[in-house]
Chains A and B, each alone.
Chain A
Amino acid sequence: GESVGLHLPTLSVQEGDNSIINCAYSNSASDYFIWYKQESGKGPQFIIDIRSNMDKRQGQRVTVLLNKTVKHLSLQIAATQPGDSAVYFCAERETGGFKTIFGAGTRLFVKA
């Protein structure tokens, strides 16, 4: 069945270090992947996305890696800051599909 899951429920990093958040997905038909950040009491905020014809995409301080062979997605945050503390969700969608399937979420704690 469809599922998007996360390896670690929580991640604690020191300010200034790099963070890596991992995600596994199982729907082979998914071809669009998104990372969302959710701060307490707020809605999911788009961070970065990647299509299945790519294996890497970089944004400002963030990089998403996609390994379709093992159905694995990761989010790398460079020089993690206290403001990065939040829950991060990976999500997936199929071409022509409307629903976004969210993973369980990883809580990132940034220690000052």
Chain B
Amino acid sequence: EPEVTQTPSHQVTQMGQEVILRCVPISNHLYFYWYRQILGQKVEFLVSFYNNEISEKSEIFDDQFSVERPDGSNFTLKIRSTKLEDSAMYFCASSPISGGAGDTQYFGPGTRLTVL
């Protein structure tokens, strides 16, 4: 069964450094998402991406964040200058048709980001 994959599984970085989290969505999916989950808290939406542009973003997704689909298979989340509070699990998700009602989003296993 096709799965969303993410690399690395764990990323440790120093505050102020840039990080890039990578995802390979399910191959025939068209919509891509990033969510994050701070330890012990709920999963929070960051951004959705379709047709090479952001379709929706949350208040969390400020200028320090960016997303890119550099080729036909990868989807990346970049944090330009990490802060301590960016430490969290970051989940990539994809859906086949649209973000609307009835379209299931499939999640990857996550990347644990630790900012020291």
**Which A residues are within 8 Å of any B CB, using their own CB?**
31-32, 34, 36, 41-46, 49, 51-52, 89, 91, 93-105
Collect the chain A residues with CB atoms within 8 Å of residue B41's CB: 104
A98 and B109 in contact, given A32-B101, A34-B104, A89-B43 (Cβ under 8 angstroms): no
* CB nearest to A92 among chain B residues: B101
- 9 A–B contacts from the bound complex (CB under 8 Å): A32-B100, A32-B101, A41-B110, A42-B109, A44-B43, A99-B48, A100-B35, A104-B42, A105-B42
A103 to B44, CA, bound (A): 9
Is B75 interfacial (CB 8 A cutoff)? no
Chain B interface residues (CB < 8 Å from chain A): 4, 31, 33, 35, 41-45, 48, 50, 55-56, 58, 91, 93, 99-102, 104-110
Q: How far is the CA of A70 from the CA of B105 in the complex (A)?
A: 26
Cα distance A105–B39 in the bound complex, in angstroms: 12
Q: Contacts A43-B108, A45-B107 given: A98-B42 contact, CB under 8 Å?
A: no
Bound state CA distance, A92 and B99, in angstroms? 12
Closest to B104 in A: A46
Nearest Cβ on chain B to A96's Cβ, whole angstroms: 5
Contact of B42 among A42, A49, A89, A97 (CB under 8 A): A89
Q: B33: which A residues are within 8 A, CB to CB?
A: 98-100
Residues of B within 8 A of A41 (CB): 109-110
Q: Which residues of B contact A98 (CB under 8 A)?
A: 31, 33, 48, 50, 55-56, 99-100
Tell whether, in the assembled complex, residue A94 and residue B101 are in contact, meaning their CB atoms are under 8 Å apart. yes
The CB with the most chain A CB atoms within 10 A, among B42, B99, B104, B106, is that of B42
Known: A99-B58, A104-B42, A105-B42. A93 touches B104 (CB 8 A): no
CB neighbours of B48 from chain A (8 A): 98-99
A42 touches B58 (CB 8 A): no
Contacting A101 at CB < 8 Å: which of B45, B99, B106, B108?
B45
